């Protein structure tokens, strides 16, 4: 049987350490019938940050990467950046193969299990996409939710400069502060998912494994 091909579209050049090695490699080992390929363009996130949100140009480029993946034989495309999650929804309308963002299954579970939802991020652009996704999901589930956003400002810069310890400390501190205010928390970025921390007392939904499992469900049925 030929392998199914999952293409990942990344917006950070640290995708190997942040996404592929911690999540993609174990997933591929557990699912030998699926092959993973990576597309990386770190100008996508830079342009989104500079604009303070996703632009038409960024959405258009992600659609083009999706088309390229389809031409290369992809069975599914997963966009791995929450700051550009609206682009995955846009690309889905024009794609011949399934396209989704890695945070979509997380939003679904978070809304299902929480009412006052905390969104924790390390980039100011990430919560916008996450909040929109949670609100869309709440409408689909016919549920009233309240969202509280907290950004561990500076943590992402610490991570990209190589200071993982500082990043993890900042995320953990913000996590425990946020946990006092809400009944469920979702991490707004996959870059935070590796942080080791004690139990903050509320359920936490992290981007990563759930996205890959969603891709498997889409491709394998």
Domain 104-205 belongs to what topology?
Rossmann fold (3.40.50)
104-205 and 4-102+209-220 share a CATH fold: yes
CATH code for the domain defined by 4-102+209-220: 3.40.50.1860
List the strands of the sheet with 34-40, edge to edge: 34-40, 4-10, 76-79, 99-101
pLDDT digits (tens, 9 = 90+) for 122-174: 988 889 889 999 999 999 999 999 999 999 999 999 998 999 999 999 999 99
pLDDT digits (tens, 9 = 90+) for 184-220: 999 999 989 989 999 999 999 999 999 999 999 999 9
Q: Are 105 and 213 in contact (CB under 8 A)?
A: yes
How far is Cα 195 from Cα 202, in angstroms, rounded to an integer? 16
Identify how many contiguous H helices and E strands the chain contains and give both numbers: 10, 8
pLDDT digits (tens, 9 = 90+) for 44-101: 999 999 999 899 999 999 999 999 999 999 999 999 999 899 999 999 999 999 999 9
Where along the chain do its domains lie?
A: 4-102+209-220, 104-205
Shortest CA distance to 127 belongs to which of 58, 211, 39, 207? 207
């Amino acid at each position: 049987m030929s392998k199914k091909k999952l293409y990942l579209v990344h917006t950070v050049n640290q995708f190997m350490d942040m996404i592929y090695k911690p999540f993609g490699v174990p997933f591929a080992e557990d699912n030998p019938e699926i092959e993973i390929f990576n597309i990386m363009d770190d100008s996508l996130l830079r342009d989104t940050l500079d604009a303070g949100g996703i632009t038409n140009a960024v959405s258009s480029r992600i659609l083009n990467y999706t088309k390229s993946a389809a031409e290369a034989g992809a069975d599914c495309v997963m966009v791995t950046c929450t700051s550009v999650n609206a682009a995955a929804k846009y690309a889905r309308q024009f794609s011949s193969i399934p396209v989704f963002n890695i945070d979509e299954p997380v939003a679904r579970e978070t809304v299902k299990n929480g009412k006052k939802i905390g969104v924790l991020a390390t980039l100011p652009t990430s919560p916008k996409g996450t909040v929109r996704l949670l609100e869309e999901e709440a409408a689909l589930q016919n549920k009233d939710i309240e969202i509280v956003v907290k950004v561990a400002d500076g943590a992402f810069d610490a991570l990209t400069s190589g200071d993982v310890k500082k990043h993890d400390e900042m995320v953990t501190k913000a996590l425990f502060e946020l946990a006092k205010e809400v009944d469920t928390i979702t991490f707004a970025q996959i870059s935070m998912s590796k942080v080791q921390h004690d139990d903050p007392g509320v359920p936490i939904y992290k981007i990563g494994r759930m996205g890959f499992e969603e891709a498997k469900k889409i491709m394998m049925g």
